[in-house]
Chain A
Amino acid sequence: MVDSSRKDDTGDVVLNAPRSVWDLFLGFTWLAIQGFGAAAPVAYREIVERRKWLTPQDFAQDWAVAQLMPGPNAINLSLMVGDRFFGGKGAFASVLGMTCAPVLIVVTIATIYNEFSSIPMVAGALKAMGAVAAGLIIGTALKLLTNTDKKIFGTALTFGMAIVTFILMGILGWPLLWVLGSMCTLGTLWAYSRIRKLRHLGRSTT
C-alpha cells in the first residue's frame, strides 16, 4: 500500500510517503495553521512541493474530487490523502491534524475576545471585522462565480442561477434542503443536456 519512493512521469522527482500516521498528523497540523482563507495554495505547497506526498497530477485530481464531496474542501483533501497511505487510520489522523491545533487557537482567540468585549474599542473592532468577513465571503463567492468553467454554463446562466439561489436562501429564507434539492437538480440536468448537445454538435466539452 505504501510505496516509499516513487517517480513522476519525467522520472526525476522522487516522491515520498508519510512515514507514519503521526507524520500525517503533524504534516496536516502544519498545513492547517498556515492556512488563512483559501486552502488550495497552501495545501499544494505543502503536499506537493515540500513534502512530495503527491504528484501535481494526483493533487489536481484529488482536489477536484474533494470539491465534489460534501464537507469542507480542505478537510476532504486531508481525508483523501490520509486514506491513500494508511486507510481509515490515516484519514482519521489527517483530519485530527487539520482540526485540533486550529480549534485550540480559535477558542483561545474567542476567549480573549469575550474577556475584553466590554471595552468599546474591542467591541467596535470586532463588529467591523464582522463586516470585513461579510465582504470577504461575498467577494469570494463572486470570484468563484467569475472563475468557473464557462464552456457549459455561460456567464449569464452562472450568475442567474447564483442570484436565484441567493434570493431563495438569503431573502426568502427557504430551508437549505429545498434550495439544494431544486437548484442542484436543475443545474445538473441543465449541465448534462448541454454537455450532450455540445458533444452531438461535435464540439469539445472539456
Chain B
Amino acid sequence: MSWTLNWSDWLTLATFFGSLSLLSVGAGALTTSTQMYQFLVVQKGWLTASAFSTSIAIAQASPGPNVLFVSLFGLNVGMAQGDWVSGVVALLTATIGFLLPSSIFTVYGTRWVRKYQHLDWVRAFKIGVAPVSGGLLAAAGWMLLKPAADGHLDWHLWVLALGTMLLTWKTRFHLLLLFAIGAAIGALMSMSL
C-alpha cells in the first residue's frame, strides 16, 4: 500500500466509527457493516474487499461478540501503514470509537427506558425497528458475498452460502461446525483448481 494516514485521516477514522455507533440499532454491529464497506473499501480504499470479508468471517468464527470485526477492520487499516504500532492504535481507535458512544447512551438511557418501556411509543419503536434491522442484517450478508465471489461468480461459494443460510434459518446446527465444514470444502476446492 502506498498511502499513509495523516492526522486528519486518523480523526476521520475515529469520527466515522463514532458516528456509526449510535446507528447500530436492533440486531447489532453488523447492520452498519454495509456502510463501513462503502466508506472504507469503496470510498477511501483503506481496506481491501478481501480483508473486509475475512475480518467478518474470522470474527464470526471466533469466541466473543461479533462486533470485534470492527477491531479487525481497524487492525487491517493500521497494519497497511507498515508497522504494529499503527495497527494497534487503529484497532483501538476503531473499537473504542465504535463502542463508546453507544455505551454511554446505553448506560444513561437504560434508566429512562426501564421506567417507560411499556409506553406505546417505546413498544412501537421496538416493533417498528425489528423488520428494518432484519433487512440491514440481510444486506450485510449480501455485501459479504460480493467480495467472496471475487468478480467471477464462483458457484461453489454461492451454494455454500445458500446451504449455510438454510441450515441457520431452519435448524440449530452449531455455528462452529458450519465454519469447519465450510473451511474444509474451501481447502479441498483450492486443491482441485
Residues of A within 8 A of B (CB): 32-37, 39, 61, 64-76, 79-80, 83, 88, 91, 95, 98-99, 101-103, 105-107, 109-110, 113, 120-146, 148-149, 152-153, 157-166, 169-170, 173, 175-177, 179-180, 183-184, 186-192, 195-196, 205
- Bound-complex Cα distance A152 to B101 (A): 31
- Bound-complex Cα distance A7 to B133 (A): 37
Question: What residues on B are CB-neighbors of A176 within 8 Å?
Answer: 20, 23, 31-32, 34-35, 136
In contact, B138 and A142 (Cβ under 8 angstroms): yes
Question: What residues on A are CB-neighbors of B133 within 8 Å?
Answer: 144
Q: How many chain B residues have a CB neighbour from A under 8 Å?
A: 109
In contact, A71 and B64 (Cβ under 8 angstroms): no
* B169 contacts the other chain (CB 8 A): yes
Q: Which of A79, A98, A177, A180 has the most CB of B within 10 A?
A: A180
Q: How many A-B residue pairs have CB under 8 A?
A: 391
* B72 contacts the other chain (CB 8 A): yes
Contact among A67, A113, A191 with B26 in the assembled complex (CB-CB below 8 Å)? A67
In contact, B72 and A110 (Cβ under 8 angstroms): yes
Secondary structure dominating the interface of B: helix
CB-CB under 8 A for A134 and B148, given A68-B126, A106-B72 = yes
- Bound-complex Cα distance A157 to B126 (A): 15
Q: Which of B159-176 contact A (CB under 8 A)?
A: 160-169, 175-176
